[in-house]
Chain A
Amino acid sequence: MSNEKKSFNWKAITQHRLFLPIVCLLVVLLVNVIKTPNFFAVSIKNGVLYGYLVDVVNRASELVIVAIGMTLVTAASGGQDISVGAVMAVAAAVCCQILSGGQVSTNELMNSMALAIIAAIIVAAICGAFNGFLVANLGIQPMVATLILFTAGRGIAQLITKGQITYVRVGSFKVMGGYIGKCPVPTPIFFAIAAIIIVNLVLKKTALGLYIESVGINGSASRLVGLNSTMIKFLTYVICGILSGIAGIVASSRIYSADANNIGLNLEMDAILAVALGGNVLSGGKFSIMGSVIGAYTIQALTTTLYAMNVSADQLPVYKAVVVIIIVVIQSPVFRRSVDEWKKKRALKNNKAMEGGH
């Protein structure tokens, strides 16, 4: 009796959408328990939280923010925005350039923080709108449309900073990538949590989530039930642009500079991966923000794990690729089906063995 109840619950859990993404994250963490025993040790050093785990959550912040935008774009348009990393660099360049007043390096703010942040986000939103226009209004494939800013974005950022790395060595700017006052928790974590909460609230308090899924599943049917498919796709690209902009500001605050060549480098691929790891279909339709968020933390946990195991930065991608292959295969429908069949066969065998025993 109790056994039956237990197995029923188990089934409900394994069938949950977020089951596999969470399992993947747990597996990555489990490896750490064995390999790096102090991985989960969290201590306070110099008044701030310190430890591998804190590092993972902190470093993943930009990826989490960008992955949320990527999820929406993927769901609505069935394609990915590969310009997010470049847009981060553009936003960082705009932000730092305004703060430094056009100088290469500054030790005091030449303009207000609010102005710089708002301007950076507006520019990022314009980048998103540009992508959105190409995809939604002109019907260009997302990968091709966003390739334009992917290539041009870093060049634009260089133009804004006049080819230099703009440094803003001011305490109040460093806060966004560092710590607020005496708070021991790194600020980027708050940015990530705020992004998750705000986007979830928007999806919950409006019908946008349902609209995005409808448009992603069947554009022509959505139009006939009165949805403006073009507008909704466009909107997701703008949101993705804004989120990339925020991530760009956080990233530049970490290194108190706008490094057009390195901010958000290769982040687009990690973001797409986070979406896929989260159990979202890359061809659009139903989506789960939380899945992508878990995916993002998994990727960062993996990176930090490999560093902790003394894998050098050059070799990192190889190990990452191996792990990614394993995770993606585990989630693939074909693999899951064969596991199911294997389970069924085993159950049958067990039954027979039991009958034989009687």
Chain B
Amino acid sequence: MAQKTILTMKGITKTFPGVKALSNVDFKLCEGDIHALMGENGAGKSTLIKVLTGIYPFDAGEIIMDGKAMVNKSPQDAQNNGISTVYQEVNLCPNLTVAENLFIGREPKKLGMINWKEMNSRSKVLLESLDIDVAPTTLLDECSIAIQQMIAIARAVDMECKVLILDEPTSSLDEEEVEKLFALMKKLKAKGVGIIFVTHFLEQVYEVCDKITVLRNGELVGEYDVENLPRVQLVAKMMGKDFDDLADIKSERSGEVKEGDPVIEAVGVSHHGSIKPFDITFNKGEVVGLTGLLGSGRSELVRAIYGADKADTGEVKVFGKKVKINAPLDAMKAGMAYLPEDRKKDGILADLSVRENIIIALQAKRGMFKPMKRKEMEDAATNFINLLQIKTASMETPIKSLSGGNQQKVILGRWLLTNPRFLILDEPTRGIDIGTKTEIQKLVLRLADEGKSIAFISSEVEEMLRTCSRMAVLRDGKKVGEIKGDDLTQEKIMETIAGGDKNNE
């Protein structure tokens, strides 16, 4: 069965000041295909999507849809041409109902007034046809992220899109929700919609996709059928290096469990409404994982220790000495560092340069009246750009023009510069490609070997197993157990998270 090609991108080139983001990239999407777009951070996936949807203009090349050349000047333009995008962060209005969100900007009208009845009934039909289990009158705010994403997709479908772009839709979903999303995607596929699926999760690609296009450093590596490209080869193509690098990491975890040299001890610490009183100890040279479902309190636990949310009860001891922590600065002075979960919202200072982003924490720690010398800043920046292999045009480039993974490395550099004794890493590898992920994991282990104490949070259990020597499990804002040594297996962790009776204290 010959498939009809609906979208062709030919020879797309896009240059940013100092960086060639895309050079001569081809991309082809067929009707009813789920087509994965893969590559490391900075490979040019987002840029390609943004060029397609008219957010960025492109320098050279052409986009052909339905046999006609097309240039989108804005996302609206793209939508009118049948290209819809659903982003990781849903951009709908949380304070409106599901139906309102579905029909915003194109409400069914009667005598110039919105015909609410028709809007709700049409929404109901649409939602039912896609098996989305939600009432049209529910406020969007009350829906889970997964449902919100599906509503965004439903909106796109109802607007008769021919090409649907899903940009990292599964990052914040749990497994069950991912399944639902996939069911929806397959349904659309059957309707003949071409789907471009951007993701970092290999398993998901093999579960739903038909074709894979791999980009690296702004260049096309190739287009492959899923059946003909084993995982190992896909990874190798994305990274341009051997798969061995990835396999290495497990063996690097030394079997010995370090005990009895506590750096940070928290006793009875709690924050009202987010985390119930907990005790936890972080030892020297140890990577302690914090695991649990989203919203279980794993981020809230470290935030309470760090003073990001001021603890209501309990005390924190650093090297056995009680320390009062009212604000992050107190924690920093006690030798703590905190890489936050939400890089965009809590991490980067978007308009500032890479250099300023690297030195800001050390500068804040030293105080306003002891400004760092220009030379000192530049040395620090150069040092970490080299050490962490940050890809940037120069140290004066604004951090916002770096790719996600490189931004994360800058933030990591920021904290390493303060020479912390206790490093909190909350989802350091989220939304980051495998190559950088491995680098960061290795770095974490090396830092632990150097004697730093590390708290590591990740949604990926495999990653935690590779890096952590002990794990604390949280459920519903409460620490429910610790696992170490031989017990440290995926099964045991799942069991504790799920909370079988035998594990309850």
User: Residues of A at under 8 Å CB distance from B?
Assistant: 204-208, 210-211, 213-214, 217-218, 220-228, 285-286
Q: Is B14 positioned at the interface, with any CB of A under 8 Å from its CB?
A: no
B370: chain A residues at CB < 8 Å are 207
Q: Is B165 positioned at the interface, with any CB of A under 8 Å from its CB?
A: no
10 closest residue pairs by CB, A with B: A226-B364, A226-B329, A225-B361, A207-B371, A226-B332, A217-B349, A227-B364, A206-B368, A285-B351, A207-B368
Q: List 26 A-B contacts (CB under 8 A).
A: A204-B371, A205-B371, A206-B369, A207-B366, A207-B368, A207-B369, A213-B349, A213-B356, A214-B360, A217-B349, A218-B350, A220-B345, A220-B346, A221-B347, A221-B349, A223-B327, A223-B328, A224-B308, A224-B338, A224-B340, A225-B332, A225-B361, A226-B327, A226-B328, A226-B332, A227-B360
Q: Are B348 and A210 in contact (CB under 8 A)?
A: no
B211: chain A residues at CB < 8 Å are none
Given contacts A206-B369, A210-B363, contact A225 B328 (CB under 8 A): yes
When C-beta atoms are compared, the residue in chain B nearest to A207 turns out to be B371
When C-beta atoms are compared, the residue in chain A nearest to B371 turns out to be A207
Q: Are A225 and B352 in contact (CB under 8 A)?
A: no
Q: Are A221 and B338 in contact (CB under 8 A)?
A: no
Q: Are A214 and B327 in contact (CB under 8 A)?
A: no
CA A217 to CA B368, docked complex, whole Å: 18
Q: Is B191 positioned at the interface, with any CB of A under 8 Å from its CB?
A: no
User: Residues of B at under 8 Å CB distance from A?
Assistant: 308, 327-329, 332, 338, 340, 345-352, 356, 360-361, 363-372, 414
Given contacts A224-B340, A225-B360, contact A218 B365 (CB under 8 A): no
Q: Are B349 and A228 in contact (CB under 8 A)?
A: no
B367: chain A residues at CB < 8 Å are 207
When C-beta atoms are compared, the residue in chain A nearest to B370 turns out to be A207
Q: Are A210 and B351 in contact (CB under 8 A)?
A: no
**8 Å CB contact of B350 from A217, A223, A228:** A217
Q: Are A208 and B368 in contact (CB under 8 A)?
A: yes
Please give 16 more A-B residue pairs, beta carbons under 8 A apart, in addition to A214-B356, A220-B345, A224-B340.
A204-B371, A206-B371, A207-B363, A207-B369, A214-B349, A214-B352, A218-B348, A221-B340, A221-B346, A222-B349, A224-B328, A224-B347, A225-B328, A225-B332, A225-B361, A286-B352
**8 Å CB contact of B329 from A206, A208, A217, A228:** A228
CA A222 to CA B363, docked complex, whole Å: 12
A214: chain B residues at CB < 8 Å are 349, 352, 356, 360
A-B interface pairs (CB < 8 A), number: 78
A204: chain B residues at CB < 8 Å are 371
Q: How far is the CB of B142 from chain A (nearest CB, A)?
A: 25
Given contacts A208-B368, A210-B363, A226-B332, contact A221 B308 (CB under 8 A): no
Interface of A is mostly: helix
Q: How far is the CB of B199 from chain A (nearest CB, A)?
A: 27
CA A204 to CA B347, docked complex, whole Å: 25
When C-beta atoms are compared, the residue in chain B nearest to A285 turns out to be B351
A213: chain B residues at CB < 8 Å are 349, 351-352, 356
B372: chain A residues at CB < 8 Å are 207
CA A226 to CA B362, docked complex, whole Å: 9
Q: Are A226 and B350 in contact (CB under 8 A)?
A: no
A208: chain B residues at CB < 8 Å are 368
| Residue with the greatest number of chain B CB neighbours at <10 A, chosen from A204, A220, A221, A286 | A221
B332: chain A residues at CB < 8 Å are 225-226
CA A205 to CA B356, docked complex, whole Å: 16
A222: chain B residues at CB < 8 Å are 349, 360
When C-beta atoms are compared, the residue in chain A nearest to B340 turns out to be A224
CA A286 to CA B372, docked complex, whole Å: 19
B338: chain A residues at CB < 8 Å are 224
CA A205 to CA B308, docked complex, whole Å: 29
CA A227 to CA B367, docked complex, whole Å: 9
CA A211 to CA B367, docked complex, whole Å: 10
B340: chain A residues at CB < 8 Å are 221, 224
CA A208 to CA B370, docked complex, whole Å: 10
Q: How far is the CB of B89 from chain A (nearest CB, A)?
A: 16
Q: How far is the CB of A71 from chain B (nearest CB, A)?
A: 16
When C-beta atoms are compared, the residue in chain A nearest to B353 turns out to be A286
CA A213 to CA B368, docked complex, whole Å: 13
CA A211 to CA B365, docked complex, whole Å: 12
CA A286 to CA B357, docked complex, whole Å: 13
| Residue with the greatest number of chain B CB neighbours at <10 A, chosen from A208, A223, A224, A227 | A224
When C-beta atoms are compared, the residue in chain B nearest to A225 turns out to be B361
CA A221 to CA B414, docked complex, whole Å: 12
Q: How far is the CB of B92 from chain A (nearest CB, A)?
A: 23
CA A248 to CA B340, docked complex, whole Å: 45
A223: chain B residues at CB < 8 Å are 308, 327-328
When C-beta atoms are compared, the residue in chain B nearest to A208 turns out to be B368
B363: chain A residues at CB < 8 Å are 207, 210
Q: How far is the CB of B349 from chain A (nearest CB, A)?
A: 5
Q: How far is the CB of A203 from chain B (nearest CB, A)?
A: 10
B364: chain A residues at CB < 8 Å are 207, 211, 225-227
B414: chain A residues at CB < 8 Å are 225
B360: chain A residues at CB < 8 Å are 210, 214, 222, 225, 227
Q: Are A210 and B356 in contact (CB under 8 A)?
A: yes
Q: Are B371 and A228 in contact (CB under 8 A)?
A: no
CA A44 to CA B247, docked complex, whole Å: 83
Q: Are A217 and B371 in contact (CB under 8 A)?
A: no
B350: chain A residues at CB < 8 Å are 217-218
A218: chain B residues at CB < 8 Å are 345-346, 348-350
Q: Are B368 and A221 in contact (CB under 8 A)?
A: no
CA A217 to CA B371, docked complex, whole Å: 20
A217: chain B residues at CB < 8 Å are 349-352
CA A208 to CA B363, docked complex, whole Å: 10
CA A320 to CA B349, docked complex, whole Å: 36
B366: chain A residues at CB < 8 Å are 207
B308: chain A residues at CB < 8 Å are 223-224
